[in-house]
Amino acid sequence: MKRNWPLHVMLLPTLVLVIIFQYVPMAGIVIAFQDFKPWKGLTGSEWVGLDNFRFLFKYPDIGQVVWNTLVIAFFKMAAGLIVPFLFAILLNEVRLMAFKRVTQTLVYLPHFLSWVILGGILLDILAPDGGLVNKAVTALGFEPVFFLGDNNWFRFTLIVSDVWKEFGFGTIVFLAALAGINPALYEAAEVDGASRLKQTLHITMPALMPITIVLGTLSIGNILNAGFDQVFNLYNPLVMEKGDIIDTFVYRLGILNGKMSFATTVGLFKSVVATILIATSYRLAYKFANYRVF
Amino acid sequence: MYHKTLGYKIFNIGNYVFLGLLSLLCILPIIHILAVSFSSMAPASSNLVGFWPIGFTTDAYEKTFGNSNFLNSLGVSVMRTVLSTVIGMALCLMTAYPLSKEDLHFRGRTMYIWIFVFTILFSGGLIPSYILVQKIGLMDSIWALVLPGAVSVWNVILMLNFFRSLPKELEEAAFLDGAGQLKTLVLVFIPLSMPSIATLSLFTMVYQWNSWFDGMIYMRDIKDYPLASLLQTIIVQQDFSKINVDPKQLENISQRTVRAAQIFIGALPILLVYPFLQRFFVKGMVIGAVKE
């Protein structure tokens, strides 16, 4: 038998880093139960029990912030599932391989650009005074729209731009599932005289259902993640009402306003709910679709 | 044959047109930015530029590279990307190898797995992490950008699944020949995993290059900002309060063409590695997603 101590030694550096940068901050959560003052430190700050939580539930904006988060996250998840699903089916009909490859190359690209870059680009093309998109809007005879500064449009802009960034990458999983469909099924349907539409409805779509259910179930764990990177790079004081989400709220409160205890309370609340949801969603995915991560 | 029916032929033409338009939609905004960045100031600021530069000039790029903040940040970004990728991959391999062993042969494996996987499920959150970095004196240091995210548990899982797919006989042969664990990892496993290592390295590089938030909270002086954080500040927030330049230079960097040039340079490394990335990621994703 091989001696195992080298294995433990190999794991040591990672273990140390994970303990310092992941587990120590978890212990730092205690400041949610304190009135933390940086100059007094963890041991010197006053303990306040559940005061921060009581304050949280009474905080005037919190309801709106949670609601914004849920609405934005839900529509992103739904659209982020439906659009790649349909796109993969349409792409699957393409017989010209060169066309298929070029299409894939182009639609996967935005996934790899950060929201800082895309934020810069969107600010330019969505500008109300002559941005590219508004030039198209006015050319069609409509009034220009202030996509990033109008509370009626901001969530819509977030959802559409998120779908725009991620739909291509999202198709990969569906394309892999499509490649796994047994061609004999289509041949049999062909012999029976089924049209392509019928084949799509009765072979292709049912074949994609298991993976769709898995993805849908797993995304439940993300219902409180409305996308900090995106919102932070696109929002501004004009659209705070409809655009502020839990993560941006925690950032402003904790880092900018120095209310570290209260921000940690909000963050902890979110983490606990998210962890329960993630654990549940993985259990469900395992139960219904026999899906396992490792 | 459905291919021959009139209905399908009409659908097919419509499908090609639709998919073609959607693909264009993904690339046109980037082409527009590129066109603006090479245009003269006047046509750009009066919104005349579409997808081709008007009054071609490289003026915007000269101004961008004449800005010392920009050059500093470019250096910080390169630094953090290289450090994080090298350290991250070394840690990933050293972690994935022991964890790829069977429970039977490596007692303690399950415990280690849970210690790592728990961090995916739960985290201390933004504020405690921020206080920690402050307390251990990493503020303003490049290590604040490298160390907290050095270990990616997802990468470890992908890597260990790959190690597990290698034939057991290779490892047994190495042990019989007297190689220890470290030698087996370095001489047998790593050479066989080069495609996986390349894939994960590219993903790490892209992730590191794109990271902007840690730079903004852990760096107090703009000269330590990585490029993504700098662009966030001066292009997205349009906050020039931290920048220490004379008014004329400030006017230069806030021009639309110069903004476009900076955005394009920020995206350029991603565009350059993208062809290599694309060759790998479909395979990599499938390895991670489809298992028996």
Q: Domains in chain B: how many in total?
A: 1
Q: Domains in chain A: how many in total?
A: 1
- B140 Cβ partners below 8 Å, 6+ apart? B218, B219, B220, B221, B224
pLDDT band at B103 (very low <50, low <70, confident <90, very high): confident
Question: Taking CB atoms and an 8 Å cutoff, what residues of chain A touch B26?
Answer: 106-107, 109-110, 164, 168
Tally of CB atoms within 10 A around B70: 22
Q: What is the mean pLDDT of chain A?
A: 90
- Give the Cα separation of B253 and A98 in Å (integer): 41
- A107 Cβ partners below 8 Å, 6+ apart? A87, A167, A168, A169, A171, B22, B23, B26
We report the CATH number of the domain holding residue A234 as 1.10.3720.10
Of B22, B27, B150, the CB nearest to A17: B150
Nearest to A75 by CA among A160, A7, A3, A168: A160
Q: Is residue B292 pLDDT above 60, yes or no?
A: no
Distance from the Cα of B204 to chain A's closest Cα (Å) equals 11
Q: Are strands A46-47 and A34-35 parallel, antiparallel or unpaired?
A: antiparallel
pLDDT band at B281 (very low <50, low <70, confident <90, very high): low
Q: Tell whether A112 is covered by a domain.
A: yes
Q: Tell whether A189 is covered by a domain.
A: yes
Q: Is residue A266 pLDDT above 70, yes or no?
A: yes
**Cβ contact A18:B149 at 8 Å:** no
**Cβ contact B209:B270 at 8 Å:** yes
Q: How far apart are the first and last CA of chain B?
A: 35
- The angle that helices A260-289 and A51-58 make with each other, rounded to 10 degrees, is 80
pLDDT for the residue numbered B133: 94
The residue segments making up the domain with residue B173 are: 68-244
Q: Is residue B288 pLDDT above 60, yes or no?
A: no
Inter-chain CB proximity A10 and B7 less than 8 Å: no
The interface residues of chain A toward chain B in range 189-228, judged by CB-CB distance below 8 A, are: 190, 195-196, 199, 228
**What's the DSSP call for residue B186?**
I
Distance from the Cα of A172 to chain B's closest Cα (Å) equals 7
Of A10, A132, A264, the CB nearest to B128: A264
**Cβ contact A293:A214 at 8 Å:** no
Tens digits of per-residue pLDDT, B131-155?
A: 999 999 999 999 999 999 999 999 9
Distance from the Cα of A71 to chain B's closest Cα (Å) equals 22
Question: Chain B residue with minimal CA distance to A188?
Answer: B1
Inter-chain CB proximity A87 and B22 less than 8 Å: yes
Contact of A257 with chain B, judged by CB distance below 8 Å, is answered with: no
pLDDT > 70 in chain B, percent: 94
Element (H, E) at B231: helix B227-231
Q: Is residue B225 pLDDT above 90, yes or no?
A: yes
pLDDT band at A153 (very low <50, low <70, confident <90, very high): very high
pLDDT for the residue numbered A43: 83
pLDDT band at A292 (very low <50, low <70, confident <90, very high): low
**Cβ contact B49:B43 at 8 Å:** yes
pLDDT for the residue numbered A219: 87
pLDDT for the residue numbered A247: 92
pLDDT for the residue numbered B1: 64
Inter-chain CB proximity B277 and A112 less than 8 Å: yes
Inter-chain CB proximity A250 and B126 less than 8 Å: yes
**What SS3 string covers chain A?**
CCCCHHHHHHHHHHHHHHHHHHHHHHHHHHHHHEECCCCCHHHHCEECCCHHHHHHHHCCCHHHHHHHHHHHHHHHHHHHHHHHHHHHHHHHCCCCHHHHHHHHHHHHHHHHCCHHHHHHHHHHHCCCCCCHHHHHHHHCCCCCCCCCCCCCCHHHHHHHHHHHHHHHHHHHHHHHHHHCCCHHHHHHHHHCCCCHHHHHHHHHHHHHHHHHHHHHHHHHHHCCCCCHHHHHHHCCHHHHHHHCCHHHHHHHHHHHCCCHHHHHHHHHHHHHHHHHHHHHHHHHHHHHHCCCCC
**Cβ contact B14:B24 at 8 Å:** no
Q: Tell whether B191 is covered by a domain.
A: yes
Tens digits of per-residue pLDDT, A44-102?
A: 888 888 888 888 888 888 899 999 999 999 999 999 999 999 999 999 999 898 999 99
pLDDT for the residue numbered B291: 40
Contact of A164 with chain B, judged by CB distance below 8 Å, is answered with: yes
Q: Tell whether B257 is covered by a domain.
A: no
Q: Tell whether A119 is covered by a domain.
A: yes
pLDDT for the residue numbered A253: 87
Inter-chain CB proximity A264 and B7 less than 8 Å: no
Q: Tell whether B14 is covered by a domain.
A: no
Q: Is residue B158 pLDDT above 80, yes or no?
A: yes
Q: Is residue B2 pLDDT above 80, yes or no?
A: no
pLDDT band at A294 (very low <50, low <70, confident <90, very high): low
How far is CA A70 from its chain centroid? 12
Inter-chain CB proximity A124 and B132 less than 8 Å: no
Inter-chain CB proximity A124 and B161 less than 8 Å: no
Question: Chain A residue with minimal CA distance to B33?
Answer: A121
Nearest to A102 by CA among B270, B27, B30: B27
Instruction: Sort A112 into a burial class: Cβ within 10 Å, 0-12 / 13-18 / 19+.
Output: buried
Average pLDDT over residues B43-67: 89
The residue segments making up the domain with residue A103 are: 77-245
Give how far Cα A18 sits from Cα of B124, B178, B261, B280, Å: 12, 32, 39, 28
Inter-chain CB proximity A121 and B18 less than 8 Å: no
Tens digits of per-residue pLDDT, A22-45?
A: 999 999 889 999 888 888 888 888
Inter-chain CB proximity B123 and A25 less than 8 Å: yes
Inter-chain CB proximity B266 and A116 less than 8 Å: yes
Of B12, B98, B157, the CB nearest to A7: B98
Give the gyration radius of chain A's Cα atoms: 24
- Give the Cα separation of A128 and A126 in Å (integer): 6
pLDDT band at A117 (very low <50, low <70, confident <90, very high): very high
The interface residues of chain A toward chain B in range 42-61, judged by CB-CB distance below 8 A, are: none
Average pLDDT over residues B174-187: 90
Question: Chain B residue with minimal CA distance to A231?
Answer: B236
- Give the Cα separation of A71 and A73 in Å (integer): 6
Inter-chain CB proximity A22 and B101 less than 8 Å: no
Q: Is residue B73 pLDDT above 60, yes or no?
A: yes
Nearest to B250 by CA among B58, B10, B63: B63
* Chosen from B127, B209, B238, B287 to mutate, greatest number of chain A CBs within 10 A: B127
- Give the Cα separation of B247 and B241 in Å (integer): 12
Give how far Cα B253 sits from Cα of B66, B73, B212, Å: 10, 15, 19
Question: Taking CB atoms and an 8 Å cutoff, what residues of chain A touch B185?
Answer: 10
pLDDT for the residue numbered B283: 59
The beta strands (E) that lie in chain B are given as none
Question: Taking CB atoms and an 8 Å cutoff, what residues of chain B touch A96?
Answer: 16
Its ipTM equals 0.88
- Give the Cα separation of B7 and A228 in Å (integer): 45
- The angle that helices B153-165 and B194-210 make with each other, rounded to 10 degrees, is 170
Q: Is residue B172 pLDDT above 60, yes or no?
A: yes
**Cβ contact B126:A255 at 8 Å:** yes
Q: What are phi and psi of B221, to 5 degrees?
A: -105, 135
Question: Chain B residue with minimal CA distance to A133?
Answer: B29
Instruction: Name the β-bridge partners of A47.
Output: A34
Question: Chain B residue with minimal CA distance to A105?
Answer: B278
We report the CATH number of the domain holding residue B156 as 1.10.3720.10
Question: Taking CB atoms and an 8 Å cutoff, what residues of chain B touch A25?
Answer: 123-125, 128-129, 131-132
Average pLDDT over residues A118-147: 90
- Whole-structure pTM value: 0.89
